[in-house]
Amino acid sequence: MAEPEIVAFVCNWCAYAGADYAGVSRIQYPANVRLIRVMCSGRVEPSFMLKAFEDGADGVLVGGCHEADCHYMSGNVKARARVEETRSLLDLLGLGGERLRIKWVNANEGEVFASEIADFTSALKSLGPNPLKAAKPVTRGKPPVLAEIMARTNTNLCVECGKCTASCPVSRRLASFSPRMTVEMSLEKMASEIETGPQLWECLTCRTCEERCPYNVRFSDFIREARVEAQDLGLDGCPTQSGQMYSWMRMMARDGLSQQRTGWADGFKTKARATSKNDIMFFVGCLPHFGLSHRHVGADTLGIATNTLAILNAMGIAPVLLADERCCGHDLLFAGEPEAFEALARRNAEAFKKAGVKRIVTACAEGYQTLAVEYPRVLEDWDVEVMHISGLMAQAVETGNLTFENDLGLKVTYQDPCRLGRYMDEYEAPRAVLGAMPGVELVEMEHHGPDAVCCGVSSWISCGATAKSIQMSRLAEAKATGADVLVTACPKCQIHFSCALSGRVPLERSEVEIPIEDLTSLAVKALGLSLPEPAAKKPSRASKAKPPAKAARKKSAGKAPSKASPGRKGKKPAKTPAAGSKKKTGAKSGSK
């Protein structure tokens, strides 16, 4: 292969100085590295590394000060954790974590820098080029004209009654945002003001306004389509985590990847393809990826996937699990990248057809809406039945194929996800499942069902002060019910609420802090299921580094280690029994 292309993010104080020292000292090393100087290696976010790979880099190096010498106290410790997380993401994607390295280099260690580049170059040659290099990138089409969007979304029918703005959770907190005014601007042909203004990205696309609109103006669809032109202008609404999720989603839309995304399912009964027309496929989506990118906020999205498999197995179902499944594309579609969404839809449809899949169940509300509604719009021969796991469980409870035995002794409240509720009109199934669990009392929040308030963020956009205010209000509403647990049926709701509680909160923590669990988690506990032990993970290069000296000294000073890891300050543990407290599952054998 040609010389591998390496992108190196190096800290200003040590690693860059070490590279400079190697240069002025005439120390020879391969000239195939592009240095990007940053103030601290802790400033290098996963999105930077992923974007380099998305754009064709064969390898990425993060260089910083030795862990005891960081000029910003602990920036390199953060860098090491981010590299480890990103290596795991690269393994899932099939690019390989070996393409990402981290190295500590002092200002006087020019030989160390040169040796690392030479060794990395040799390793990359043995790995071969980045498989995305040969893959044809997704090309963007011509964005829709505003007049066409208005006709498709009934915007022309607006009578400016203002019910949309009066009911919008964003408008109640942000006076500059108004669905009515945005529609009025479109009627006055102010296309450029809409496309370049902030209102396109402040909307949650939660459809609360559409529940109130007397003329069926589909404002969320209007926003979604108008974002396409904004993306063409280089605007993206400042997505959370600098858009790292979009990077891996766009990578999955291209050829060349051989994903490694099913290792977590070891120990469960699954199959590689359908053997009858009634076989069910479990569409996992991005749950394993979110489990890595949002592990720092305490969201356990991979647990949702393992719980779903355990439930399906308890129902006598060995679902189809595809190693080459891709992201459903929901977030790219709603962020204004319809071509990338369609590429993902075609790749998924091809994989489903090859595996003989005709029935799909998903544990993600957004994945459910996307597969059931958006795929038929872009795929002519789509004939796949799609269900959310809550609907499948509700059916099994009704037919007696699923019986909950464990008494959980819990008072719970339920968050209606926007895509499951207002988009798909599914309100009863999750409540039916909760109602079938012994010892579970459901207490509704003031706003529930079609009137439920969004979790505050959609498609990783608009994650800021307004979102935080919406989340705090919703968590306070949940806490006011006296419930022990806030139950969700969407991984994004769990992520956003967990994120809101992971740092400082503007209210008294006791007013908003409440344990958050997915519906599948309660179902596993009520069934008394024991999950298989996860396979031991081979330690990566990044994880072999020694612990930071300063942090180690600080941790051990004057205090014996506690026997148990403490939870967040002030957080009370959920009153749920541990999974596996009863051996009997209560689930009867059903179709496979």
Contacts 24+ apart (CB under 8 A), 140-143: 140/231, 140/232, 140/337, 140/339, 141/338, 141/339, 143/228, 143/229, 143/231, 143/232
Give 97-125 as a 3 state SS string. Answer: HHHEEEEECCCCCHHHHHHHHHHHHHHHH
The DSSP string of 50-108 is HHHHHTT-SEEEEEE--TT--TTSSHHHHHHHHHHHHHHHHHHHTS-GGGEEEEE--TT
Q: Which two tokens stand for residue 514?
A: 């409440």
Q: Which of 150, 216, 212, 215 is nearest to 182 (CA)?
A: 150
pLDDT tens per residue, range 335-361 = 999 999 999 999 999 999 999 999 999
Whether 506 has a pLDDT exceeding 90, the answer reads yes
Fold of 6-127: Rossmann fold (3.40.50)
**CA dihedral of residues 209, 424, 377, 289 (deg, nearest 10):** 100
Assign 534 a pLDDT band (cuts: 50, 70, 90).
low
**Residue intervals in the chain for CATH 1.10.1060.10:** 146-232
Q: Is 265 within 8 Å of 307 (Cβ atoms)?
A: no
State the average pLDDT over residues 294-317.
96
Average pLDDT, the chain: 90
Which distant-in-sequence residues (6+ apart) come within 8 Å of 450 by Cβ?
Answer: 211, 421, 422, 427
Report which secondary-structure segment, H or E, holds 283.
strand 280-283
Class of domain 396-527: alpha beta
- The residue length of the chain stands at 592
Q: Is 231 within 8 Å of 336 (Cβ atoms)?
A: yes
Q: CA 471, CA 196: separation in Å to the nearest integer?
A: 27
Amino acid in the structure at residue 207: R
pLDDT tens per residue, range 388-442 = 999 999 999 999 999 999 999 999 999 999 999 999 999 999 999 999 999 999 9
Q: CA 44, CA 192: separation in Å to the nearest integer?
A: 34
Q: CA 106, CA 407: separation in Å to the nearest integer?
A: 59
On whether the 146-232 domain is CATH 1.10.1060.10, my answer is yes
Assign 104 a pLDDT band (cuts: 50, 70, 90).
very high
pLDDT tens per residue, range 29-53 = 999 999 999 999 999 999 999 999 9
The DSSP string of 460-489 is TB--SHHHHHHHHHHHHHHHHTT-SEEEES
Q: Is 41 within 8 Å of 64 (Cβ atoms)?
A: yes
pLDDT tens per residue, range 248-294 = 999 999 998 989 899 999 999 999 999 998 999 999 999 999 999 99
Which CA distances in Å does 65 have to 115, 246, 323, 526, 589?
16, 30, 39, 50, 58
Confidence at residue 583, expressed as pLDDT on a 0 to 100 scale? 40
Q: Is the whole-model pTM more than 0.85?
A: yes
How many CA atoms lie within 13 Å of 501's alpha carbon, on the beta-carbon side? 27
Q: CA 85, CA 168: separation in Å to the nearest integer?
A: 36
Q: Is 114 within 8 Å of 29 (Cβ atoms)?
A: yes
**Residue intervals in the chain for CATH 3.40.50:** 6-127, 257-393, 396-527
DSSP 587: B
Which CA distances in Å does 273 have to 260, 333, 350, 406?
17, 28, 13, 34
Q: CA 239, CA 233: separation in Å to the nearest integer?
A: 16
The CATH number for 257-393, chosen from 1.10.357, 3.40.50, 3.30.420, 1.20.120, is 3.40.50
